[in-house]
């Protein structure tokens, strides 16, 4: 088994399931280590880890109470919270910078959203985070979202092919995908979305219900994740990190995992070693304003009922 | 006895179907209330029907989504049917072609197409063609299997008769084999029309900017689950309508077949 | 002139080693001859007829029809059989075609124009007394009606060779007598080669120039009797002593008392075979 | 003639199938070279076979992924077959049940299950049960349609005979209707086994931690496209093997059927 | 005692308005009587037999078998027909069962133990001369063999009432004669009620107590002749003048010259019907 159902359960402990938003990426290592290194168990929690194929799946899993925790891109959660009154709360931020980039061919670089006016951009899935991201950035840079065509090109590596073919002039991809393309000898021009608007990084979410009823569990989970994150950002632990990670994604080679880890570590540390896992409420404010401005949300919400940045202090107190 | 049962046949369905529908909706409502399942996972029937009402009165839903999917389904079905029936006859009539071709046709069918989506898009573009191709590829199989089965079930006497009157290949095909196989083809078509719908919708899930699949995907990412279930109901009804249209072909094409003949025989 | 030549034909269903259904059959049928085939149930009459008609592959031996080989290649066989009509023991009507359409089928296959073939098929239906049932589907017809449609179908395209497997088995005496007379008339007019399987000895004697008797295990020809009765024969011929002699002769041959009874006058028309 | 064609039948396939496979692989290689398609979209056959070699020699792939998917497929197929055959008989035998139930069974089939995945997980958990449920739900339909078609094609004479010997309902079913319908059920099963495989794999895509679908998903997110294609080949072969196993049931269960009988009749 | 009572039975296939296949049929058959049914092809014999056997719904009238209604509710009908055996015009063998298994089917349906039913079925196959073909599947049998298996099947469970639709139609004279004698023997032993459709007038006279003649459009009974020939009848009975008188009488009735010929001595055994 991939470690989710093993015998090392904690007697008398509570069971909590974490559902990833999209398979197992190296970025999920903190959560994996929290379980595999026994941090969760130390706090009396039986951790389970399951995967899914998309943000919406993961969010619905939370709402169905099939799982309790997930880590998703904040754009999606913000939109559903504002528009649908979805009862999510955010209690930690694992990645302090956007994992997504606007990528284009180096020969025909796309330098800002203006370059995309009337053109097509490749996104990962229709209606998903990358789609919303394009809207948001377009508004930020004074382009009407409708003036940018979207084509679902899937993975960044495949999107590159469509760019060569001329179907799209740019695409949204991850740093890892860019690295893979560059290793294959392609020249890629890329800029991080953070250079246009600083939105929060991937954040841990749970339901309002869980927070209200089991605040202590949420805090313990966060503490375990924090320790997992601390473990990951330390290059000394890379070998062990990769070993843990590979219990869930056995297919990845050690070298590949190392390469991805090298790409991911700066994102974890983007706000500084002392600010790991910190949630920046002002970024949420900025994001909410931008979303409202772009017409992606119909109303704004009181972020103090959504973002619980101070839980981190309680968690740190446990460590 | 006969009159009554025809009468019952004709009218009962107008009573039972709504009744059964009510039971199902009632069960759904009860489940939603008693289990306390989140409305983000399963909204109550009331919410869904409210959503459905706004959807079916929105012309955009019809002109963009339903129409797009319909066109994709129909073209996909036509292409898939052509491939399926042709290959079914080929492998049904020739043991050698059967042995040679069938493995590959089965391979095409069992290969998970999701992973091949980028190739589809690369070959057929982002537009409707790639969805049509997917629908065709998904729906040809039952037609192939059933056509082959039908042609292989040709009663020996029919074939002998054709031989004895000196029928040429084409005549034998058009006047003996095809009419006999028609019933089997139609049974395959019943399944193909459903698969073509699914294929088109899955294709839209994988990419595209119109159609019911894309629409549902948007609604799901927005967690507009009541609208999503409205869309699901819409898709289901849409598929059902296509299915019913297909099955009614039977009465036109094979009125002589045992499965169609209205029997006046005593009930057993 | 020989129309059908069957030479040392054997037939087994299944791998070699299984007992043959047809032993070694030799049979030569002249052009325009009317041959009746008699034999007990299961002795191989249908198998022989089907093999001649190219519906079964002979396990051994050769068959030619009008000089063309039936046992050789497919295209040669098709040519050989182009002029052969077959009436099956089971009617083999197409369930989706009306009586008229079933009768018209061979004409359609020969690309006869629609109007002509409808007229011709209508005529044939009339011949078998089914004008009133032209629009019925097979499942709406009685057993005898179906068989008559099948007869009409085989006659419709006027083949030079007719292979008929118990065509009148399911018919009442009156219809049967009528069709016997009709068949004789057609044959006298057009001098087709006919091989006619029947269970009725008197029908065989009444219709045929020559009656071939088969016996079973393996199927083989045990008697071959030339019927020397003047044509055209009316119902009254059945009352003649010759007729009775022939039927007695054949009854004996069927019963297996072959040797003594077969002292027929015609020199090379009667042969004897032993198992 | 007979001996030859049996001989040809038996051995030809060992020549043509590899030959055709080579042609396809050659075409693939040529396409990859000439079109310059990125190896992230379509790796060349060489890379894929190298990947496949490492995969099939990795016991973990067998014990975890293939085995898991196999178990899910088989159980899904068993449940789906039970539902499909039972409902097929029900609607095939009773016109009223047909009119009443069929719409709902068709609805189940046309409803896109992807959107319902959260419900599946809620009801059946993240483990194998939810994949089995999905496989069952996806594969029951061809069995239902073909079983209903088969029972409705029962020759009138068979039914009359059963009535005339005073057969009870159960005897009629077990000794007359079921054997007759078996050929149709098997044609449905050919399709169901393929759909069950797809259903299980799609279920794994949607969540879980084992199985070929899950495996493919990991490979995709790792950008291990050559391994991904290797996995696709594996899945396709896996489906093909199940399919072949199913079709060979025919020779055991319906040796008497026209579609199985080895005919020694002249070719037409 | 009446075994089968058919009262004012009409039958039309299709909505009222279409011409009836059976006019108004009245027929009473005593227990243990052997009735032969004669009539031209398509006159409605099969339809009448099927309606008696509960395989068709009568459009009007009532039928009882052994006092139980066939035309009423389904459970009553099932009881009425429990003791009725049917030999169909088409053999209706199950293609997946061997000859023996087909014959054993009704016994199996009656839950007879395996050993007993195999023995019984074997016996029946022997009766029809097919012991050697016990393991053959229907498609491996000749037409006549299939029909004999169907006869064996109907006899296997020893029903009190036998409805036989041209059971011997596809058989050669010898087999047919044997089976005629066998059927007579069985009937004399067990005194079943038999309704026997045949096209052979002499077969009808030879076997039956009573011959009912039907004519078509609509199907109706035009003659009902009691055959007063001593039992048990041997082949020699066919040579007697009475036999010839009966066959002549029936031939006339079939031809439609009903009235004059039907001056039979027995008082209420011969009735006349007009259309
Ligand atoms: N299912 C049906 N639908 C319509 N008409 C039918 C059907 N079955 C029989 N008929 C008609 O009923 C008439 C009587 O048929 P039936 O089978 O009873 O004749 P039969 O006396 O048994 O003739 P045969 O001696 O040829 O078997 C025929 O004219 C036939 O066309
Ligand atoms: N397809 C087959 N497979 C195996 N055996 C067969 C097959 N067809 C016929 N036979 C056998 O061949 C023998 C002759 O059959 P055939 O049909 O030629 O007899 P027939 O003389 O026409 O008899 P009938 O008068 O009963 O129609 C029979 O013993 C039969 O069992
Ligand atoms: Mg025969
Ligand atoms: Mg009849």
- Cβ-based contacts of E52 with chain B (< 8 Å): none
Q: What pairs with residue A152 in β-bridges?
A: A123
- C144 in contact with ligand 2, CB cutoff 6 A: no
Contact C250/C36 with Cβ under 8 angstroms? no
- Quote the pLDDT of residue C260: 37
Determine the atom of ligand 1 nearest the C-alpha atom of C136: 31
D contact test, residue of C47, C54, C55, C57 with most D CBs within 10 A: C57
- Edge-first strand order for the sheet with C60-65 is C22-30, C2-11, C60-65, C68-69
- Quote the pLDDT of residue B8: 59
Q: Where are the alpha helices (DSSP H) in B111-224?
A: 117-124, 128-152, 156-164, 169-171, 178-206, 212-221
Q: What pairs with residue E18 in β-bridges?
A: E16
**What is the dihedral angle through the alpha carbons of A70, A76, A78, A84, rounded to the nearest 10 degrees?**
-100
- Cβ-based contacts of D268 with chain C (< 8 Å): 74
CA atoms of A53 and A71, how far apart (whole Å)? 13
- Quote the pLDDT of residue B268: 46
Pocket test for ligand 2, best of C47, C52, C59 (most atoms within 8 A of CB): C47
Is D208 buried (19+), middle (13-18) or exposed (0-12) by CB count in 10 A? buried
Is the overall model pTM greater than 0.90, yes or no?
A: no
Distance D265 CA to ligand 2 centre (A): 15
CA atoms of B214 and B204, how far apart (whole Å)? 5
Contact E71/D232 with Cβ under 8 angstroms? no
Question: Closest approach of chain D CAs to the CA of E153, in angstroms?
Answer: 9
- C139 in contact with ligand 1, CB cutoff 6 A: yes
B176 confidence band (pLDDT: 50, 70, 90): very high
Q: What is the DSSP string of B98-110?
A: HHHHHHHHHHHHH
- Quote the pLDDT of residue C203: 86
Whose atoms come closest to the Cα of C145: which ligand?
Answer: 1
- Quote the pLDDT of residue A8: 52
Say how many residues make up chain B.
268
Segment A109-154, tens digit of pLDDT: 999 999 999 999 998 887 788 888 898 899 888 899 889 998 888 8
- Quote the pLDDT of residue D4: 43
- Quote the pLDDT of residue C267: 35
Name residues with Cβ closer than 5 Å to ligand 3, which is an ion: C 46, 89; E 142-143
Share of residues in chain C with pLDDT > 90 (%): 15
- E136 in contact with ligand 2, CB cutoff 6 A: yes
- Cβ-based contacts of A127 with chain B (< 8 Å): 214, 217-222
Q: Which of residues 236-255 of C touch B (CB under 8 A)?
A: none
Query: Tens of pLDDT along chain E (275 residues)?
Result: 668 888 888 888 877 777 888 888 888 898 888 999 998 888 888 999 999 988 888 888 888 888 888 887 777 888 888 888 888 888 889 999 999 999 999 999 888 899 999 999 999 898 888 889 899 999 888 888 888 899 899 888 888 889 999 888 778 777 888 888 888 888 888 888 899 998 888 888 888 889 998 888 888 888 888 888 777 787 788 888 888 888 888 888 887 754 433 434 333 333 444 33
C270 confidence band (pLDDT: 50, 70, 90): very low
- C136 in contact with ligand 1, CB cutoff 6 A: yes
C259 confidence band (pLDDT: 50, 70, 90): very low
Closest partner residue to D167 (CB to CB) among E86, E109, E139 is E109
- Find which of D230-234, D263-267, E95-99, E168-172 is predicted with most confidence, using mean pLDDT: E95-99
CA E221 remoteness from chain centre: 16
pLDDT at B1 > cutoff 60: no
Segment D118-136, tens digit of pLDDT: 788 888 888 888 899 999 9
Residue bearing the bigger pLDDT, D260 or C107: C107
D263 confidence band (pLDDT: 50, 70, 90): very low
Do A and C make contact via 3 or more CB pairs under 8 A? The reply is no
Contact D136/A81 with Cβ under 8 angstroms? no
CA atoms of D112 and B232, how far apart (whole Å)? 7
Do A and D make contact via 3 or more CB pairs under 8 A? The reply is yes
- Lowest-confidence pick of B2-16, B74-88, B155-169: B2-16
Neighbours of C268 (CB within 10 A): 7
Mean of pLDDT values over B234-256: 83
- Quote the pLDDT of residue A212: 93
Cis previous bond, E232, omega within 30: yes
Contact A219/A318 with Cβ under 8 angstroms? yes
- Quote the pLDDT of residue A1: 33
For residue B171 the two structure tokens come to: 């005549």
Mean of pLDDT values over B129-134: 90
Three-state SS for chain C is: CEEEEEEEEEECCCCECECCCEEEEEEEEECCCEEEEEECCCCCHHHHHHHHCCCCCCCEEEEEECCEECCCCHHHHHHHHCCEEEECCCCCCCCCCCHHHHHHHHHHHCCCCHHHHHHHHHHHHHHCCCHHHCCCCHHHCCHHHHHHHHHHHHHHCCCCEEEEECCCCCCCHHHHHHHHHHHHHHHHHHCCEEEEECCCHHHHHHHCCEEEEEECCCEEEEEEEECCCCCCCCHHHHHCHHHHHHHHHHHHHHHCCHHHHCCCCCCCCCCECCC
Mean of pLDDT values over A307-312: 92
CA atoms of B8 and B14, how far apart (whole Å)? 10
Cα Dmax for chain E: 57
pLDDT at D19 > cutoff 60: yes
Closest partner residue to B40 (CB to CB) among A63, A125, A127 is A63
pLDDT at C221 > cutoff 70: yes
Distance E204 CA to ligand 4 centre (A): 15
Q: CB contact, 8 Å: A157 with chain D?
A: yes
Q: Hey, is A289 helix, strand or coil?
A: helix
For residue B96 the two structure tokens come to: 């050698």
Q: How do beta strands C60-65 and E193-197 pair? A: unpaired
Mean of pLDDT values over C20-45: 88
Determine the atom of ligand 1 nearest the C-alpha atom of C147: 26
Neighbours of B7 (CB within 10 A): 10
- Quote the pLDDT of residue C275: 33
Distance C137 CA to ligand 1 centre (A): 11
- Quote the pLDDT of residue E261: 38
User: Interface pTM (ipTM) of the complex?
Assistant: 0.85
Question: Closest approach of chain B CAs to the CA of D19, in angstroms?
Answer: 10
Closest partner residue to D121 (CB to CB) among A64, A180, A249 is A64
Question: Closest approach of chain D CAs to the CA of C94, in angstroms?
Answer: 14
Nearest Cα neighbor of D203 from D222, D187, D217 is: D217
E contact test, residue of C14, C95, C142, C180 with most E CBs within 10 A: C142
Find where tokens 């061997």 sit: E98
Nearest Cα neighbor of A282 from A170, A169, A188, A199 is: A199
């Amino acid at each position: 088994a991939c470690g989710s159902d093993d015998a090392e359960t904690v007697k008398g402990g509570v069971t909590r399931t974490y559902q990833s938003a999209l398979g197992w990426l190296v970025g999920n290592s903190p959560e994996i280590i929290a379980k595999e290194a026994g941090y969760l168990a130390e706090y009396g929690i039986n951790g389970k880890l399951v995967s899914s194929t998309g943000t919406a799946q993961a969010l619905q899993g939370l709402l169905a109470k099939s799982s309790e925790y997930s880590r998703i891109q904040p754009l999606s959660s913000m939109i559903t919270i504002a528009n649908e009154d979805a009862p999510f709360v955010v209690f930690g931020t694992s990645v302090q910078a956007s994992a997504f980039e606007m990528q284009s061919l180096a020969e025909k670089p796309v330098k800002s959203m203006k370059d995309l006016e009337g053109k097509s951009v490749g996104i990962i899935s229709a209606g998903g985070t990358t789609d919303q991201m394009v809207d948001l950035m377009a508004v930020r840079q004074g382009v009407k979202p409708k003036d940018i065509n979207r084509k679902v090109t899937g993975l960044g590596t495949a999107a590159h092919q469509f760019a060569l073919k001329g179907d799209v002039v740019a695409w949204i991809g991850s740093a890892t995908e860019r690295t893979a393309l560059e290793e294959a000898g392609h020249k890629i021009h890329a800029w991080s979305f953070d250079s246009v608007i600083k939105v929060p990084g991937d954040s841990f979410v749970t339901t309002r219900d869980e927070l209200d009823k089991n605040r202590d569990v949420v805090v313990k989970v966060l503490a375990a994740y924090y320790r997992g994150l601390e473990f990951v950002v330390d290059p000394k632990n890379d070998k062990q990190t990769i070993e843990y990670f590979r219990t869930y994604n056995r297919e990845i080679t050690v070298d590949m995992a190392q390469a991805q880890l090298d790409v991911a570590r700066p994102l974890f540390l983007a706000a500084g070693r002392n600010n790991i896992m910190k949630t920046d409420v002002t970024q949420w404010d900025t994001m909410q304003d931008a979303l409202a401005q772009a017409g992606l949300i119909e109303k704004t919400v009181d972020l103090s009922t959504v973002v619980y940045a101070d839980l981190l202090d309680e968690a740190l107190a446990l460590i | 006895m006969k009159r009554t049962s025809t009468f019952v046949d004709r009218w009962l369905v107008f009573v039972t179907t709504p009744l059964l529908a009510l039971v199902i909706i009632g069960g759904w409502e009860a489940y939603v209330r008693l289990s306390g399942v989140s409305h983000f996972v399963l909204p109550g029937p009331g919410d869904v029907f409210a959503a459905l009402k706004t959807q079916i009165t929105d012309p955009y839903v019809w002109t963009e989504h339903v129409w797009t999917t319909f066109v994709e389904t129909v073209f996909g079905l036509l292409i898939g049917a052509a491939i399926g029936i042709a290959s079914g006859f080929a492998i049904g009539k020739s043991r050698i072609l059967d042995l040679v071709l069938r493995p590959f046709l089965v391979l095409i069918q069992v290969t998970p197409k999701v992973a091949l989506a980028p190739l589809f898009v690369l070959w057929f573009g982002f537009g409707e063609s790639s969805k049509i191709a997917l629908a065709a590829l998904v729906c040809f199989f039952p037609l192939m299997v059933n056509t082959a089965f039908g042609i292989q079930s040709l009663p020996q006497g029919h074939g002998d008769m054709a031989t004895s009157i000196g029928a040429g290949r084409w005549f034998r095909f058009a006047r003996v084999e095809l009419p006999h196989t028609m019933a089997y083809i139609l049974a395959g078509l019943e399944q193909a029309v459903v698969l073509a719908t699914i294929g088109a919708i899955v294709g839209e899930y994988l990419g595209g900017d119109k159609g019911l699949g894309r629409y549902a995907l948007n609604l799901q990412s927005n967690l507009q689950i009541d609208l999503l279930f409205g869309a699901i109901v819409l898709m289901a009804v849409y598929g059902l309508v296509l299915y019913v249209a297909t099955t009614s072909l039977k009465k036109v094409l094979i009125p002589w077949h045992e499965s169609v003949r209205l029997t006046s025989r005593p009930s057993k | 002139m020989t129309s059908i030549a069957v030479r040392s034909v054997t037939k087994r269903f299944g791998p070699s080693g299984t007992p043959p259904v047809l032993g070694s059959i030799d049979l030569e049928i002249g052009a325009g001859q009317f041959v009746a085939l008699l034999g007990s149930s299961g002795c191989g009459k249908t198998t022989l007829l089907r093999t001649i008609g190219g519906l079964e592959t002979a396990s051994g031996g050769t068959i030619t029809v009008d000089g063309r080989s039936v046992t050789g290649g497919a295209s040669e066989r098709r040519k050989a059989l182009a002029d052969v009509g077959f009436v099956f023991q089971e009617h083999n009507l197409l369930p989706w075609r009306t009586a008229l359409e079933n009768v018209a089928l061979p004409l359609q296959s020969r690309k006869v124009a629609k109007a002509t073939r409808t007229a011709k098929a209508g005529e044939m239906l009339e011949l078998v007394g089914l004008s009133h049932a032209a629009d019925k589907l097979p499942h709406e017809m009685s057993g005898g009606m179906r068989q008559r449609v099948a007869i009409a179908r085989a006659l419709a395209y006027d083949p030079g060779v007719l292979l008929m497997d118990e065509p009148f088995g399911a018919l009442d005496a009156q219809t049967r007598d009528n069709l016997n007379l009709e068949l004789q008339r057609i044959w006298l007019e057009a001098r087709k080669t006919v091989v006619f399987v029947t269970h009725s000895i008197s029908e065989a004697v009444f219709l045929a120039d020559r009656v071939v008797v088969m016996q079973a295990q393996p199927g083989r020809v045990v008697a071959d009797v030339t019927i020397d009765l003047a044509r055209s024969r009316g119902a009254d011929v059945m009352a003649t002593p010759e007729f009775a002699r022939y039927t007695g002769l054949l009854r004996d041959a069927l019963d297996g008392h072959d040797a003594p009874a077969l002292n027929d006058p015609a020199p090379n028309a009667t042969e004897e075979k032993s198992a």
